[in-house]
Chains A and B, each alone.
Chain A
């Protein structure tokens, strides 16, 4: 170790891994429905796409968690996004490609992707 900058580089790299172990009440939560219906409809690749995209963009205040069946099995894979202080948004019939866009538009730029939401898909 020859400089503080080197230490800083290691810290930045290692921090992301540890962030997950801290309780953060302000964190946005991505909840992927992973009951039997969700898994059968392809929730696993969606979950992984969220994790990877969030890591790629280095988002600190987001956690990805699975959740059970919320009762709209025909719309699986279902993903809910909870941002503290905002209304919960439910995305339906998700795919890994859609997940990437949701991360970019919703989590980064704070624009809900209306066309993927349950509202747009049940009309």
Chain B
């Protein structure tokens, strides 16, 4: 029995800033002090506050150490774990109030969150099935197998109002009902863990922090639709998630929670991993299943829908990781409990990956209906460097931008569609006034052009033409007619593409056109980029009267475009410098180096 637990975050974010070394040093130091039998070190999944990583929490005190360094460990072990004196200097400063230490759950970042899908992330050791079982893990599977009929399970899902967390928001219960209704000798349950949106890492964090919840939920789905086999399609770019999933599958087998005759009920269910090779289109359901079959990952027309003919032409149900993460608790706590959270048509909570120009980059889970303002300003800690909020991008390359005027819209599936964006998988990228909206649209278009599988023409050629027009606009070669043409092409691509990738690819363009048309016009008519991002519309100039002639910029310039003039400004000792615009590559190095604010761009 340990008297103290030290949790060290082993998510991808903290791992990349050396948290595994921290855990090892901690174990070594504890041994040195003879505390290794009293204090247990546990590597957990993501705590959510990735911006403050590496993160370490000491229980029972609940002390939250942030941005921990390996060098800090001996002090923490000697002072805190041996002598009981919390090293407040190294704590997350928001938890320190004069002489007391505040609970983590009372900090702005955590107080407004409601953790359902993430409830075990940062609490349990994801590589220990016992930890998951201690948190009522596999009790839901036990309950459905021994107490509920298949119909009751599906009815519970329908009543809960759970909708697919992958982005489209299709009711999960309905999906299961369709798959259950089709008789076949073999059915399949698949899990979509091919999280490909730039800036999204919700599913990765669930898989890394609580892999068993996905296995348990898939087995429940298997029972409900009558399937005995499951596949998890996970990106090969998520090595930690893949490793922990495999460990989880092996442990579940060992305990007989996967395999044959689970709980002695005669129900058989098995799960295998399939690694994706990095194609974004494989997140689309039909392409994903084609890829699992070992073929080139391309979508196919629907109908037939997967519930009728899916994997290997058999009835299949496919759900997203976060959707699965909700299911065992819906079974245990009841549909009413789940339906009591959220808005009328969007129940429960949603996990968002906060990124971009925001103080607390990380993972947050809030009830549906929370406003964007609460997420950005309160939980996210606002925009750094006193900059102004301009827009938030949700839904990745399929979504759109939400401007400041809609900051107070309660976020749910339908409201986001109404304001021209979409829930998507939950990436939420915050942009400040230094972001050019045309450039953002171009960025996402570049992504979809790269990732279009090429099977259908509207997507393959349409997105390419759209990108070409955007490139012309950012180079100052656009016309007003071009903007109208672009808009038309957007609607054409949406209406005619084969799969979700093409059908949503124009969304970033359409939503920026809707809210920031004036920026497009500025690029076209004034040939200016208001945010100062599009290089071809920029010019760096030295204001000669402010120039001290220190020559720093000319030494920093990588192309030798800055030379000395013979003009000595009034009151200055040395001659001023100037930029040769024919040589300038607009890298901005001169402006960053100037100590006298003598260089301007515009």
**Chain A residues packing against B (C-beta within 8 Å):** 1-4, 7, 10-11, 13-18, 20-21, 23, 27, 31-36, 39, 47-48, 50-52, 54-55, 63-68
Contact = CB atoms under 8 A, between A and B. Distances in A.
16 contacts: A2-B256, A11-B134, A14-B130, A14-B131, A17-B2, A17-B40, A18-B134, A27-B60, A34-B82, A34-B83, A35-B83, A39-B82, A48-B3, A48-B38, A66-B83, A68-B84
B5 A65 contact: no
B79 to A, nearest CB: 9
B272 interface: no
Q: Which one of B1, B2, B261 has the greatest number of beta carbons of chain A within 10 Å?
A: B1
Contacts of A31: 84
Given A2-B256, A20-B3, A55-B1, 6 more contacts: A17-B5, A17-B130, A17-B131, A20-B2, A31-B84, A35-B85
B457 interface: no
A77 to B, nearest CB: 12
Contact of B134 (A2, A15, A35): A15
Nearest to A13: B130
Interface in B87-139: 103, 105, 123-124, 130-131, 133-136, 138-139
Contacts of A11: 133-134, 136, 139
B557 interface: no
Contacts of A1: 138, 255-257, 262-263
A2 B264 contact: yes
A27 B61 CA distance: 12
B44 to A, nearest CB: 9
B551 interface: no
B422 interface: no
B124 A18 contact: yes
A65 B61 contact: yes
Contacts of A7: 133, 138-139, 142, 263
A66 to B, nearest CB: 3
Given A20-B59, A66-B84, A10 B133 contact: yes
A65 to B, nearest CB: 6
B7 interface: yes
A48 B36 CA distance: 12
B576 to A, nearest CB: 62
Contacts of B264: 2-3
Contacts of B256: 1-2
- Cβ-closest 9 pairs across A and B: A66-B84, A55-B1, A14-B134, A63-B60, A1-B256, A14-B130, A51-B3, A2-B264, A18-B134
Contacts of B262: 1
B496 interface: no
Contacts, number: 99
Q: Which one of A13, A48, A65 has the greatest number of beta carbons of chain B within 10 Å?
A: A65
Given A1-B263, A2-B264, A18 B142 contact: no
B559 to A, nearest CB: 56
B146 interface: yes
Contacts of A64: 3, 60
Given A51-B1, A51-B38, A55-B1, A4 B263 contact: yes
Contacts of A10: 130, 133, 255
A54 B3 CA distance: 10
A52 B1 contact: yes
B182 interface: no
Interface of B: 1-5, 7, 38, 40, 59-62, 82-85, 103, 105, 123-124, 130-131, 133-136, 138-139, 142, 146, 255-257, 261-264
Nearest to A52: B1
Contacts of B263: 1-4, 7
Given A47-B3, A51-B3, A68-B83, A14 B133 contact: yes
Contacts of B38: 47-48, 51
A52 to B, nearest CB: 6
Given A1-B262, A14-B134, A23 B84 contact: no
Q: Which one of A17, A52, A63 has the greatest number of beta carbons of chain B within 10 Å?
A: A17
Contact of A4 (B4, B130, B142, B261): B142
A55 B3 CA distance: 9
A54 B1 CA distance: 9
A23 B103 CA distance: 8
Contacts of A54: 1
A27 B139 CA distance: 26
B487 to A, nearest CB: 53
Contacts of A13: 130
A17 B59 CA distance: 11
A4 B146 contact: yes
Contact of B62 (A4, A23, A32): A23
A66 B255 CA distance: 37
B105 A23 contact: yes
A13 to B, nearest CB: 7
Contacts of A65: 3-4, 60-61, 84
B47 to A, nearest CB: 12
Contacts of A27: 60
Nearest to B85: A68
Contacts of A48: 3, 38
B554 to A, nearest CB: 58
B124 to A, nearest CB: 7
Q: Which one of B2, B7, B136 has the greatest number of beta carbons of chain A within 10 Å?
A: B2
Contacts of A36: 83
